Amino acid sequence: MVPAADEVPLKGLVATLPETPPAANYGRRDGLLQEVWYESVPLRGKPTRVFGWLGRPAAGGGKAPAMVLVHGGGGRAFADWAKHWAERGYVALAMDTAGQGPDGQAHEAGGPGQGDDVKFRVFSDAEAADMWTWHAVAAVLRGHALVRSLPEVDPERTGITGISWGGYLTCLCAGLDPKFKVAVPVYGCGFLGHNSFWRDRSLAALDEESRERWLRWFDPATTAGGIRCPVLFLNGTHDFAYPPDSYRRTYSLVPEGVRTLSLRVDLDHGHIWTFGEVDAFADSVLRPGAGSPPLVRMGPLELADGKASAVIAAGGPVASAELHVTTMTGDWVKRVWRTIPAEVSGKAVSAVLPAERPLTYFFTVKDGRGLVTSTSWRSEGAEDNPAVVPAGKLEDDFYDWEARHAAVMKAKAARAPEIVMIGDSITHLWGGEPQEPRGNRGAESWRALFGERAVLNLGFGWDRTQNVLGRFERGELDGLQPKLAVIHIGTNNLAGTKSVRAATADEIADGVQAVVLQTKAKCPGARVVLMAVFPRGREAGDPMRARVAAINERLAGVAKACGAEWLDLTGRYVGADGRISEEVMPDGLHPSEKGYAIWAEALKPFLP
């Protein structure tokens, strides 16, 4: 039985762990390394065991500090990692968190595997104890208890570091186990539902209730605020899995006085355990002294009179400093950074900030050993991308938004759709179910194209990408198994109102990408067609033409990256003279019956 969950339900499971260290069996030795198997928590009522490599330093000299080493996705208990720390004078345990033995293969008494289909499966609160995250957390915490019980270990000098999913587990475990004296999550963080590789994939594939349950139980945002030991957060600016915005949200939960940051431009993502910063940070806490000086810890960024600055809060001296800036917004992976030398004066670093806006920036500093730490990042003239933040109704229009959502939910329950059409008013006004009470502009071409097929129209007037994502969260695609999904969205993101600012082309592309990925995640068997945003503006010189073209330049790449099929009808709507005929789009935006017939003809080859 799981004890009654408090606001951090994972703590209820942690409370079930024995206070005594786990029983362990030791296997063959290989130099500084030895195989170890130890008991962990049961899986569906059956006992499990965890394999690990235990590293011990060669020489004696009293009780040693110890590190717990947590691998990332696709990894295993890495012997070389344990050896790295043993050679540095530590006892180290590199354990497996995926039910694997020394050969990397699953063993009979192993816990759950580490595939995303296992990590993100649907579960009830009562089944949380059978989920991968809990078994991985238990493997770490029981491993920590084992290490602390060893006679050669000083139990008051133990730490944890993990890479990628191991960094994720480090954020969880350091907030759950106060016996850790130092922690270093590399890449991994919390707020996976805010922004992460899994937000638009595995998490999006879950229905709203299951997604909220997963985040409530297993997102490190629930535990990172409990970290009180010194912690080094190390990540790159273009990390594809744990981007800097979710990373900042995570480390901001940790008291400023105990957190050190090392944000690096274009840092590779991988099973890398040779960061000098990680070694030095652990040494400074677990083996303090003249031979283990602390890393430089920077204070918050300040901006005054066009100059950015930050104080050196601890450590030093600083040998050099740099300011890193980007004017790009949207997807962090795509941002290009440039570096500007910064001035070091006394206990502060500073640099004149470029005048371009929007601008995101941060400082890095090097100490005399060449070890790099940083400030947090900050933006001027840039905000969170509104195009990827799920939203409900934002604008008043010719129809009742909530009533249409209710009609969609009723229609999908009445007849399982073979095709779903996802979009804004351009899709909304075409035809189909749910019917638009005020009538449609393309009902004839809709009937001619789809005939008796079951088609669900998920077009909503005035909707932007964030509205579509919000409707997805409210279940409009949940449970559906369409053969075809057609997506046409993004034109309304160009408009700023009192409800939301206009988005840039990069931001809109990110929003459309989220829509495509979530559609594929929720409807895995569907063929997905991504439409280029229809041209806007009657004349060739209309400013909207260039803005739409900029979006479409990016969306072609989105379609390719996401495995969707790209369909651009710009040339069919724009005449040889560059104009859009009133017969095709009476208002230069919404198709007429003739305009919808053009779209219908183009979609015929994609019909199931």
Identity at 37, one-letter amino acid code: W
**CATH classification at residue 166:** 3.40.50.1820
CA distance 277 to 372: 7
Among 420, 478, 480, CA closest to 453: 420
Q: Are residues 208 and 317 in the same domain?
A: no
Q: Are residues 234 and 317 in the same domain?
A: no
Q: Are residues 225 and 258 in the same domain?
A: yes
What was the pLDDT predicted at 6? 46
**Number of folded domains that form the chain:** 3
Domain end residue (candidates: 220, 250, 285): 285
What was the pLDDT predicted at 108? 96
Q: What are phi and psi of 16, to 5 degrees?
A: -85, -10
What SS3 state is found at 526? coil
Q: Are residues 517 and 410 in the same domain?
A: yes
What was the pLDDT predicted at 7? 66
The structure tokens listed for 198 are 């899994």
Does a structural domain hold residue 254?
yes
**Positions marked catalytic:** 425, 587, 590
Does a structural domain hold residue 5?
no
Does a structural domain hold residue 43?
yes
Q: Are residues 260 and 402 in the same domain?
A: no
**CATH classification at residue 512:** 3.40.50.1110
Domain end residue (candidates: 285, 311, 328): 285
Q: Are residues 390 and 445 in the same domain?
A: yes
Instruction: Output the pTM of the full model.
Output: 0.85
Q: Are residues 159 and 60 in the same domain?
A: yes
Q: Are residues 491 and 588 in the same domain?
A: yes
Could you list the beta-strand ranges (E) of 394-462: 419-423, 455-459
Domain that holds residue 349: 302-380
User: Strand 565-567 to strand 527-531: parallel, antiparallel, or no bridges (unpaired)?
Assistant: parallel
Q: Are residues 311 and 392 in the same domain?
A: no
Please work out, in degrees rounded to the nearest 5, the angle formed at the alpha carbon of residue 513 by the alpha carbons of 436 and 462: 30
**CATH classification at residue 338:** 2.60.40
Domain end residue (candidates: 340, 358, 380): 380
Q: What is the dihedral of CA 53, 59, 61, 64, to 10 degrees?
A: -20
Does a structural domain hold residue 118?
yes
Q: Are residues 330 and 471 in the same domain?
A: no
166 close to 70: Cβ distance less than 8 angstroms: yes
Does a structural domain hold residue 366?
yes
In the Cβ-directed half-sphere of 329, how many Cα atoms lie within 13 Å? Answer: 23
Q: Are residues 583 and 441 in the same domain?
A: yes
Strand partners, 361: 325, 378
Average pLDDT for runs of 10 along the chain of length 608: 55 96 97 98 97 93 95 97 98 98 96 97 97 98 98 98 98 98 98 94 94 95 94 98 95 91 94 96 97 96 93 96 94 95 97 95 98 95 84 95 97 96 98 93 96 97 97 93 98 96 94 94 94 97 97 95 95 96 96 98 98
